[in-house]
């Protein structure tokens, strides 16, 4: 019987990160990776490593004003990992109603 894998200190983090890297590679050039933690914090990543281990991984988010260069989190706090095409930066703005339609 195969036992389910649960994130934690005994989890194979090297294998998790290696498989994630493989999935990103399959996505192709320009793939974007983001990690959402259980508390809702979202990181858009440059990289992820299995260091320091013992149930923790290191996330390296894209630099933004005031953000840390590296965040070490317990793998069990990761709620979701998203892999997809890189999205252009969102621009906030206001759109006036179309005056041609009444």
- Whole-number CA gyration radius for the chain: 18
> Residue 38 half-sphere exposure, CB side, CA atoms within 13 Å?
6
Grouping H, G, I as helix, E, B as strand and the rest as coil, residue 54 is coil
**pLDDT value, residue 9:** 55
**pLDDT value, residue 63:** 83
**pLDDT value, residue 3:** 46
pLDDT averaged over every residue in the chain: 82
Q: What's the pLDDT band for 16 if we cut at 50, 70, 90? A: confident
At the topology level, CATH places domain 30-85 in: SH3 type barrels. (2.30.30)
Is residue 44 within 8 Å of 88, Cβ to Cβ? no
Is residue 46 within 8 Å of 60, Cβ to Cβ? yes
The structure tokens 């999205």 sit at: 87
Structural domain spans, the chain: 30-85
Of the candidates 28, 94, 68, the one whose C-alpha atom is nearest the C-alpha of residue 58 is 68
- Average pLDDT for residues 51-55, to the nearest whole number? 90
- Average pLDDT for residues 14-42, to the nearest whole number? 90
Of the candidates 34, 49, 47, 37, the one whose C-alpha atom is nearest the C-alpha of residue 85 is 34
């Amino acid at each position: 019987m195969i036992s389910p894998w649960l994130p934690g200190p005994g989890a194979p983090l090297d294998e998790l990160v290696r498989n994630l890297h493989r999935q990103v590679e399959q996505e192709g050039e320009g793939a974007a990776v983001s990690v959402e933690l259980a508390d809702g914090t979202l990181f858009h990543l440059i990289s992820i490593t299995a260091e320091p281990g013992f149930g923790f991984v290191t996330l390296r988010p894209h630099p933004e004003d005031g953000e840390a260069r590296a965040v070490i989190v317990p793998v069990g706090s990761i709620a979701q990992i998203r892999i997809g095409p890189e999205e252009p930066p969102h621009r906030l703005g206001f759109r006036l109603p179309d005056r041609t339609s009444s």
